C-alpha cells in the first residue's frame, strides 16, 4: 500500500460554495486570505486568514464575505485522481503531488504549521522525521538540499522527504514565511520533528518561529 500527498490552491468568490469530490483522504486546509465557513462531522466553524483545520470525509465549504484563497493538502492512496474543487466562482489548481513513503503498519499524525523567519534569517542544516509539502506565503527563500539550491517565491511549493539534510536562507528584504503539512510518527505528538545535522549548530540561536495549527493523530486512507 502506497500513499501520495498533494497540494492545491483554491480560490472562491465572496460567499461562493466550494465543492470537493468525495474521496478517501486526510485533509488540511489553510486560509491565506478571506474567510471560510466549514460544516462537517470533523469540524464546524468559520476560519479567517492565517488559520487552518483538519478533516477527513465530507465537509461543506463556502467563502466568507471576501474573495478567499486557501491551500489544501490531501493525503490519499497513490494513484488517486486529482481532488479538484469546483463550484460557481471557484477555481482550483494542483500545485504539487509527491509520493509519501509511510508504513501503514505504524501510527501517524498530521502536523500543519507556519514557519516564519526574520529578514536574512536561516534554518541551520537539519532533517525531519517525516515528509511533507511546504508552500511559501510571503517573502522569499533559498532551499539547499541534495547538492542543489532552489529559490522559491510566494505560492511556490516544494517537498521535503525528511531524512535529506536541508539548509534554508530567507531573503534579506522582508519577513519570510511558509506553511507546511508533514506526516510524522505519532510518538512525536506535541514534540519537535527537527534534528540538526552539525554538532556545532546544536547550541546556536535559532531565529525561525513556529505557529502550529494542527497536530493530531490520523488514520491513513484505505
List the CATH code of the domain at 3-100: 2.60.120.10
Predicted local confidence at residue 57, as pLDDT: 61
Cβ partners under 8 Å of residue 215, min gap 6: 109, 110, 111, 112, 113, 189, 190
Predicted local confidence at residue 60, as pLDDT: 85
What's the CATH number of domain 108-218, 3.40.980.10, 1.20.120.420, 1.25.40.10, 2.60.120.10? 2.60.120.10
pLDDT in tens, 22-70: 899 999 999 999 999 998 766 788 999 999 999 876 678 999 999 999 9
Specify whether the CB–CB gap between 119 and 170 falls below 8 A: yes
Strand order of the β-sheet with 26-33 is 51-55, 26-33, 68-77, 3-12, 90-100
Average pLDDT value over all residues in the chain: 95
- What are the start-end ranges of the E strands in 41-160? 45-47, 51-55, 59-63, 68-77, 90-100, 108-117, 122-128, 132-138, 141-145, 148-152, 157-160
Instruction: Answer whether residue 18 shows pLDDT above 70.
Output: yes
Q: CA separation (Å) from 1 to 4, 13, 88, 97, 183? A: 11, 38, 36, 17, 16
Place of cell 531573503: 171
Instruction: Answer whether residue 140 shows pLDDT above 80.
Output: yes
Ranges for all domains in the chain classified under CATH 2.60.120.10 = 3-100, 108-218
Amino acid at each position: 500500500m502506497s500513499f501520495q500527498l498533494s497540494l492545491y490552491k483554491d480560490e472562491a468568490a465572496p460567499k461562493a460554495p466550494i465543492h470537493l469530490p468525495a474521496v478517501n483522504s486526510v485533509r488540511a486546509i489553510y486560509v491565506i486570505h478571506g474567510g471560510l465557513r466549514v460544516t462537517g462531522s470533523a469540524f464546524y466553524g468559520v476560519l479567517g486568514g492565517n488559520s487552518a483545520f483538519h478533516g477527513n470525509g465530507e465537509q461543506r465549504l463556502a467563502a466568507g464575505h471576501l474573495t478567499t484563497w486557501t491551500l489544501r493538502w490531501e493525503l490519499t492512496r497513490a494513484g488517486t485522481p486529482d481532488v479538484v474543487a469546483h463550484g460557481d466562482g471557484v477555481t482550483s489548481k494542483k500545485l504539487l503531488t509527491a509520493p509519501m513513503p509511510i508504513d501503514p503498519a505504524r501510527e501517524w499524525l498530521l502536523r500543519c504549521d507556519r514557519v516564519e523567519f526574520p529578514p536574512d534569517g536561516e534554518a541551520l542544516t537539519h532533517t525531519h522525521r517525516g515528509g511533507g509539502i511546504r508552500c511559501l506565503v510571503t517573502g522569499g527563500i533559498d532551499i539547499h538540499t541534495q547538492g542543489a539550491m532552489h529559490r522559491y517565491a510566494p505560492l511556490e511549493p516544494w517537498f521535503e522527504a525528511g531524512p535529506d539534510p536541508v539548509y534554508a536562507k530567507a531573503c534579506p528584504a522582508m519577513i519570510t514565511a511558509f506553511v507546511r503539512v508533514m506526516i510524522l510518527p505519532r510518538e512525536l505528538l506535541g514534540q519537535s520533528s527537527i534534528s540538526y545535522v552539525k554538532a556545532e549548530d546544536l547550541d546556536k540561536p535559532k531565529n525561525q518561529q513556529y505557529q502550529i495549527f494542527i497536530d493530531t493523530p490520523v488514520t491513513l486512507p484505505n
